[in-house]
Structure formats: C-alpha cells, structure tokens
Amino acid sequence: MTDSISITDNRTGETLEIPIVNGGVSAAEWSKILPGTWFYDPAFMSTAACESAITYLDGEAGILRYRGYPIEQLAEQSTYLEVAYLLLFGELPSAAEFEVWRREITLHTFIHENVRKRFLEGFHYDAHPMGMLVSAVAALSTFYLDAKEIFDPESRQKQIIRLIAKMPTLAAAAHRFSVGMPFVYPDNSLDFASNFLSMMWKVAEPRFEANPVLARALDVLFILHADHEQNCSTTAMRVVGSSHADPYSATAAACAALYGPRHGGANEAVIRMLTEIGSVDEVPAFVAAVKQGHGRLQGFGHRVYKSYDPRAKIIKRTADEVFEVTGKNPLLDIALKLEEIALNDEYFTSRRLYPNVDFYSGLIYQAMGFPLEMFPVLFAIARTVGWLAHWQELLDQDARIARPRQLYIGPESRDYVPIGQR
C-alpha cells in the first residue's frame, strides 16, 4: 500500500489523502486543500525545490552516490574527468568516449589573452583570488556570445567543456597574480590535476613534473567535491539558471555563493582553529571551552550528515599518502587528538557531531603548499562540473523560474506624510 497522510481542513471538514512519494509530499497536493496558503520554511530545511537524478545523499546512513555509484568506489578507482563525464551524461564513458572527452577538455584549457591582460591584470595587487575568479567567470560570457544559445545542444556542450577546462587556468592565474608571479600557460601534455599544479607552481623549469602522489590526491579531492546535492552554491546555480541566464553568469553566481565562509571557506576555518589551539596539550581545554559555549568546533557536524561524512573517511586516508611525500603537517597531531576526544565524548556524539569533509581537506591543501585564500578556489574548480550537471538537468526539465514565497512581517497600510510634517 502506498504511504500517505490524511489532512482535514477544520474550516470545512473536508479531508484529503496525500501520497508520500520518495519521502516527501507534493505542494501541489497540499494546495488542493489549502489554496492560497504556503509553507514558511527558512533556509529550505524541509523543502525539495527540484527533482534530480545526479546525486543521492542519505545523511542518516552516511551514504553519498553519484548517479548510483558509491563515492568510495569512484574515489578509489576513477578520475575526476571520468566522474565529470558521469555526472553530466549519466553513465561512465567507454574508453573511446573518455578519450574524446579528455581531449576536448585538454584543448580548451587556454583562456583568451584579453581575459588575462585586460581583465585579470586590472585587479588590485592584493585582490583575493576567489574574488578574481568570480569576476573572471562572469566575464567569460562576454567572450563567448554563443553561450546565450542555451537550447542549442552543440552550443551548450561547448560552454560546458569550456568552463570545466578553463576553471583551473583562471584559478591558477588568479593565484599567480595575487603573489606577483607571471602567468603560466597550460601544458596539454599533462593530465587535469598535474596541469593545474604546473600552472600553480612552475617557476623556470622547462616542464613541471608533478609528484604523482600529490596529483592523484588532488584528483581524489576534486572527485569528492564534484557534487553534493542541493547545497547553497548549487541552489544558486539552479536559481540563476532558471532565468535562462548563460552558464558563465550562473556559474559566477554559484562561485559567489561558495565564496562565503559558511560554505567554501569551511576548511579554512578548520586550519585557523587548529592554529589557534596551538598544541596537542591545549586540545582538552579547547574542547571544554566549546562545551561551555565558548568557541566552535570547526569541521565537525554537517547540515545533512548525521553520521560520519563518507568523504571525510576517504580524505583521512588520502592525507596519510600526502604527508608521506610532503612531511606531516604540524597541525595534524592537533587534529587527530581533537577527533579522538570529540568522538569519545557524549556531548558531541549525542549531538551527532562527526568530522566532515572540511576537517582534513584543509590540512592536505596546506601541506601541498596552497595558501588559505585558495581553498574556496580549489572547491570551485571541483564543483564546476556538479553545477553544470544541475544547470543542464534543469533546462532539460524545462524548470520554471525560481520564485519562492515570503511571509510579510512589515507594517500595515499607512498614508504618506509630507517631509515637513514628519
């Protein structure tokens, strides 16, 4: 028997049975018995604004799947570009399909010279790289006028490829400018992650040789951050995309949402917290202060996950591999001690506060040499494909333009008073 609930309107005595589908009920069904009445749901805590076949997330059980594939299997066996193909097209590519896909991405990594010379180099010398990235992505819409042809399959595919390919180039260019180093052109002989590392760190050597362990670790981190259902930035992408804006403008909006410290800056907050703690000996005192309401345990807990974030387990293993190459991040011992105490303290376990993806990712990025201000930029590179998959999906669904309701709490009607009488 189909699950359902019965609702009775006490004003009329009318009863309506509403089916529960996929764990929720349709607002259209509610409106049959409550016409003109809507739900007040701040931050969309209990509202599904769309249907999506891209990512499945069960926060209670700690499950994350892309197109049905467990994140654990993809992180262990796949590559970021293969996962990107999966998210966009719904299936893993054959060897021939992947080679075409890889080649298309590789050949579109270069950015127009005027983007760099006339735009990026116009920023102030100490501009934040994430602010530069937000602006540069939006500016791309003025370089590719065909981007507005969003219902032309060929044009749409071209913009998707361009965005995935150029995000690492723009990101590295923003970093190099912010530290006063010359721009490094993409090296099309390198894989996706190694090419990005080359554009970040190359100095004067003829060819940058990325450490394969670090390149693979970065690729895994990109996989883990590729999509995460209806988070803040993905919702921004969908809302702007629903107006039929071009994908560069919509992606810039998603980047702007990611710029906020509550979203893309979370792993930076973890590093700052660990630095503030200072030593392993100070961890118990810090935990005690958090329990008393003084301070916050960064990197623990999640809006969706009520158990151990599956991505955090993968990142913890990846961290061990990275530290074998870079040497152990001095903050790692503090992080491990903090995790040990929190996971054995009823105060945190009863509140279901477990390490999330941000707890260890920042340690890895820092060990690899990335400055704190680049953390949200790295997040944006990885999440671009997830944003684009959702943008493509909403267009194929012919989704209506986003227009949520509000509860008005302002003054009642009142008459204008001339300024001399106020």
Does the active-site annotation cover 108? no
* Exposure of 266 in the CB half-sphere (CA atoms within 13 A): 21
Does the active-site annotation cover 41? no
Catalytic residue among 175, 225, 228, 302: 302
Catalytic residue among 358, 390, 396, 415: 358
Which residues, including other chains, have CB under 8 Å from residue 139's CB and lie 6 or more apart? 115, 119, 248
Cβ-count burial of 127 within 10 angstroms (0-12 exposed, 13-18 middle, 19+ buried)? middle
C-alpha distances in angstroms, 207 versus 35, 183, 214, 327?
A: 66, 15, 17, 24
Instruction: Report d(CA 258, CA 231) in Å as an integer.
Output: 10
Cβ(194)–Cβ(106) under 8 Å?
A: no
Instruction: Report d(CA 242, CA 404) in Å as an integer.
Output: 12
CA dihedral (116, 120, 121, 127) in degrees, to 10, reads: -150
Does the active-site annotation cover 225? no
Place of tokens 């309107």: 9
H or E stretch covering 317 = helix 310-326
Catalytic residue among 263, 281, 345, 398: 263
146: tokens are 């065909």
Which ranges of 78-207 would DSSP assign to H, the alpha helix? 80-89, 95-107, 113-114, 129-139, 153-178, 192-201
The residues annotated with a catalytic role in the active site are 263, 302, 358
